[in-house]
Amino acid sequence: MRGITGWGTHLPYARLDRSAIRAVAGTGGGTGTRTVASYDEDTTTMGAEAARAALRGRPASHSRLAPHGRGALHERGALHERADRPGSLWFATTEPAYSDRTNATVLHAVLRLDRAVPAYDAVGSVRSAMAALRAAWQGPGSSLVVTSDIRTGLPGGPDEAAGGDAAAALLVGDGAQVLAEIVAWESVTEEFVDRWRAPGAPSSRLWEERFGETRYCELGAEALKLALGAAGIAAGAVDHLVVAGLHDRAAGAVQRASGVPEIRITDRLASTVGNPGAAQPGLLLAVALESARPGQIIVLLSLADGADAVVLRTTPALASYRPWRPVAAQTAAGGPIAYGRYLHWRGMLPVEPPRRPEPARVSSPAAHRNADWKYGLVPVADALGTIVTFTVDRLAYSPSPPVVFAIVDFDGGGRLPVELTDVDAGEVAIGGRVEMTFRRLATSDGIHNYFWKARPLRDKARDTPRDTPGEE
Amino acid sequence: MGSHGIKDRVAIIGMGCTRFGEHWDKGVDDLIIAAAAEAFKAAGVTKQDVDAYWFGTAQSGMSGIALARPLGLVGKPVTRVENYCATGSEALRQAVYAVASGAYDMAMAVGAEKVKDAGYQGLNAFPIPGDGTARTVTAAAMFSMVAPAYANKYGVPPGDMKTALARVASKNHHNGARNPRAQFRKEYSVEKLCAMPAVAGGLSVFDCAGVADGAAAAIVVRAEDAHRYTDKPLLVKALALVAGNGGGLGDPGYDYTTFPEVVAAAADAYAQAGITAPRAELAMAEVHDCFTPTEIVLAEDLGLAARGTAWKEVLAGTFDLDGELPVNPDGGLKAFGHPVGASGLRMMFEAWLQLRGEAPPERRISTYGERSLALTHTLGGYPGEMVSFVSILGAV
């Protein structure tokens, strides 16, 4: 038996209210919100957060935290406690932070995977995500598939409003840890141009919408029929149908024609998250898994330059699995961002910077020597902390001033003066609880400077009693 | 093993100091030449009489050549030193020890900084290649965390704390207004200062030191030779320096209400000078008021006020020009300005003027004629990670 053995997702904190778009752009917009990657996030950092979550999800029977003292210190290695550490790592996105060099190696360093674990990118197209998942499914051993996307469009355009930013990570493996067995995978491929974008361009361009809709309806139905046939399952027996794809009208039409009752169709999160491109199949599969019971059939149908249809059957092990940060908890935890600031973050509205020198580029040899600290934040990456004191710096250079900076004491000992993120300066308070998050501090000379920041712990269910240093 | 000091073995016989400020029309060489010329004239010596030179600059020049070239020195040993904002103090420390060792008869320390050519607000450190994980917040932000920590620890009401900080700035601007060499010569009321918008934590621009160009210089000889040059030499009583190891940044026990490096340097300096009651024995103190909360903590770390009381002493006027112990009678970093490499020597220049009775009447310290010891203090770095220098100078 081979299939999904764990998952983790990351939704950025910021939410853009689509109704704010038209007032500025004069067109476009809509209702509901979309997620917005912070100025200090890219597809690599979001992928790292999703991957960390995937490796921290575990059966409920596992003690998530030893109560005190040495146990808490030991917990700092919790990321590495899963027995099925991945034997390979895949990273898929349409918006890689780097070309030429591999982006997955950053995740490899963040997760502190063994050097014998290969890390590969599959980047460029939305379909890369399904390619990576298929490679993981077909390969031997345990594999971590990380999908991540930042979706942009020109102001007022359909992609800007419909898009969303997110990351999803799926663990694939064998045996008793399997939560959802992959029982069939069928794929059809066809060359046609209904959407295109030159590498690095801010937006995609679209052919007349009806052309793509016609193609995807046919391809989706075909793949679905093949996969259900291979699995020996009738459409009416599908408990959760997940349809992903950038062509929203086609996805809706395929759903309606699928024969699966509407109530069993997984919501595409259009009103809260938007369409996160390459991350959408993984994110929506996570939504389905988080609502599924053991013994159910989930079908994941991805419409991208053809169609991939995957049939999964959940196992009894699913009943005791606890995702680290459920999608529902993250969709509920966002904060608003003004449209102007959103445009600034995406580089479409240059704002006067502080009159301070921009940071120097990172020294590659220094970063390489200190990888465990810079990327792994050993030993406090997984620790929770408390704000001892803080300040708001309106003078320092930042891609998005002001800098909110705090002295953080970690549970179990240790202190770090560190920048805060995903935070309004006015909501910070002494005693506030924070968790660490992997971010891109700045980019100089084309080199991204990745390091960690602290952010408010908004999911109080994950908080734990503070440990007093020396209590052991 | 031990810090023995060189009390009364070396004397300053001449000093110079430019006006500090925005010298758009002068380069660092012009400033160096002006300060050095004033010092040569005061001591009645020429550049050829000086046997060795130390040049302090944080980032306005590299190597001893940066001093040898503008002064046209020939065949002289010249060393450039850097120790953050204690750079100027460090230059003097090296020159004094060189003379005390017997290696040279006469040495000179010159400190200079040309900050305003950088094109940016504030001070900006020369970037050293690194892994990109170092803090990038400003010094103002780091020191801004001192004020709430101090107020919280000692139960100072927020309004009183803000008033005390403004009172520090107001005092130093009062003194600077009476100093023709100071960068800022305008007085500001506490009320006006309290109304300024915050730029880092609770600090406004008026809580921060002036950023200035400037240079200062001192010539030193063995104490027994001093009277060949002047009737009123300034004797070096103590020189203390502590470089922190940065441990405070990661220490959960550190509470941002004291600077341990300053406490240690002060203890060493007082021991060298034989001072047991600094507040009663010192005639004046020049302290590193890079930000207003710094001066409050320094008063306590230097033993000029009991723990938790400096804010009250500030409000009571203890450290005013006419107070019990004048602090920063020349205006301090706040009003005199802060050209990094020159500031430590600028403080000594004020001691030189005040202890020798050469400060103008409108800026004369209240203790003149009664006490004869001055303290100068510089620090560089941040709370939790700093270098700290303390000197004690005395009139004969």
The CATH number that applies at residue A457 is: 2.40.50.840
Confidence of residue A60 (pLDDT cuts 50, 70, 90): low
B209–A contact, CB cutoff 8 A: no
Q: At what angle do helices A104-111 and A43-56 cross, to 10 degrees?
A: 40
Residue A446: CB partners within 8 Å, gap ≥ 6? none
The answer to whether residues A115 and A202 belong to one domain is yes
What average pLDDT score do residues B1-18 get?
Answer: 95
- Is residue A111 within a helix (H) or strand (E), and if so which, with residue range? helix A104-111
B150, closest residue in chain A (CA to CA): A389
Q: Is residue A174 part of a domain?
A: yes
The answer to whether residues A334 and A254 belong to one domain is yes
Quick check: A357 and B133 CB within 8 A?
no
Give residue A303's domain range: 2-339
Residue B326: CB partners within 8 Å, gap ≥ 6? B283, B284, B285, B319, B320, B365, B366, B367
Best CA proximity match to B196, nearest among B162, B234, B151: B162
Name which of A374, A391, A400, A415 to mutate to probe chain B: the one with the most chain B Cβ atoms within 10 A of its Cβ. Answer: A391
The answer to whether residues A228 and A302 belong to one domain is yes
Confidence of residue A466 (pLDDT cuts 50, 70, 90): low
Confidence of residue A63 (pLDDT cuts 50, 70, 90): very low
In chain B, the domains with their CATH numbers are 10-118+213-233 (3.40.47.10), 140-182+191-206+236-395 (3.40.47.10)
Q: Is residue A280 part of a domain?
A: yes
Distance CA(B339)–CA(B114), nearest Å, equals: 7
Percent of chain A with pLDDT over 70: 93
DSSP strand pairing (B214-222 vs B106-113)? antiparallel
A75 near A65, Cβ under 8 Å?
yes
Q: Is residue A345 part of a domain?
A: no
pLDDT at A161: 97
The answer to whether residues A295 and A378 belong to one domain is no
Name which of B115, B133, B211, B254 to mutate to probe chain A: the one with the most chain A Cβ atoms within 10 A of its Cβ. Answer: B133
A265 near A284, Cβ under 8 Å?
no
Residue A57 has pLDDT above 60, yes or no: yes
Average pLDDT, chain A: 92
Q: Coil, helix or strand for B338? A: coil
Compare CB distances from B121 to A355, A373, A441 and report the shortest one's residue.
Answer: A355
- Give every strand in the sheet of A297-303, ordered side by side: A119-123, A88-93, A143-149, A166-174, A2-10, A180-189, A306-314, A297-303, A240-245
Distance CA(B343)–CA(B345), nearest Å, equals: 5
Residue A471 has pLDDT above 90, yes or no: no
Q: What size, in residues, is chain A?
A: 472
- Count CA atoms within 13 Å of residue A423 on its CB side: 27
pLDDT at A128: 98
Confidence of residue A76 (pLDDT cuts 50, 70, 90): very low
Distance between A375 CA and the closest CA of chain B, angstroms: 10
| Pure H helices in A155-261 | 158-162, 209-231, 248-257
Percent of chain B with pLDDT over 90: 95
The answer to whether residues A381 and A236 belong to one domain is no
Q: Decide: residue B118, CB within 10 A, 0-12 exposed, 13-18 middle, 19+ buried.
A: middle
Amino acid sitting at position B125: A
Q: Is residue A443 part of a domain?
A: yes
Confidence of residue A83 (pLDDT cuts 50, 70, 90): low
Quick check: A414 and B252 CB within 8 A?
yes
Confidence of residue A78 (pLDDT cuts 50, 70, 90): very low
What average pLDDT score do residues A176-199 get?
Answer: 96
CATH of the domain at A324: 3.40.47.10
pLDDT at A126: 98
The answer to whether residues A154 and A199 belong to one domain is yes
Residue A69 has pLDDT above 50, yes or no: no
Confidence of residue A75 (pLDDT cuts 50, 70, 90): very low
Confidence of residue B203 (pLDDT cuts 50, 70, 90): very high
Residue B252 has pLDDT above 70, yes or no: yes
A309 near A227, Cβ under 8 Å?
yes
What average pLDDT score do residues B49-68 get?
Answer: 97
Quick check: A357 and B120 CB within 8 A?
yes
Residue B125 has pLDDT above 90, yes or no: no
Q: Which residue has the tokens 């929770």?
A: A384
What average pLDDT score do residues A364-369 get?
Answer: 97
Supply the Cα-derived Rg of chain B in whole angstroms. 19
Quick check: A393 and B122 CB within 8 A?
no
What average pLDDT score do residues B95-101 get?
Answer: 98
Q: For residue B376, list its beta bridge partners.
A: B286, B391
pLDDT at B136: 84
SS3 per residue for A312-362 = EEECHHHHHEECCCCHHHHHCCCEEECHHHHHHHCCCCCCCCCCCCCCCCC
- The token duo for A23 is 């007032």
The answer to whether residues A211 and A128 belong to one domain is yes
What average pLDDT score do residues A251-270 get?
Answer: 97
Q: Is residue A208 part of a domain?
A: yes
What average pLDDT score do residues B232-258 get?
Answer: 96
Q: Would you please indicate which residues of B are annotated as catalytic (active-site) residues?
A: 85, 338
- Tell how far CA B92 is from the center of its chain: 12
Question: How many separate domains does chain A show?
Answer: 2
The answer to whether residues A103 and A145 belong to one domain is yes
Q: Which chain A residues contact residue B130 at CB under 8 A?
A: 362-363, 366
pLDDT at B29: 98
Q: Is residue A353 part of a domain?
A: no
Best CA proximity match to B181, nearest among B24, B342, B337, B365: B337
pLDDT at A80: 43
B151 near B333, Cβ under 8 Å?
no
Tell me: the pLDDT tens digits for A141-154? Answer: 999 999 999 999 99
Q: Is residue A357 part of a domain?
A: no
pLDDT at A62: 47
Distance CA(B355)–CA(A428), nearest Å, equals: 49
Distance between A452 CA and the closest CA of chain B, angstroms: 8
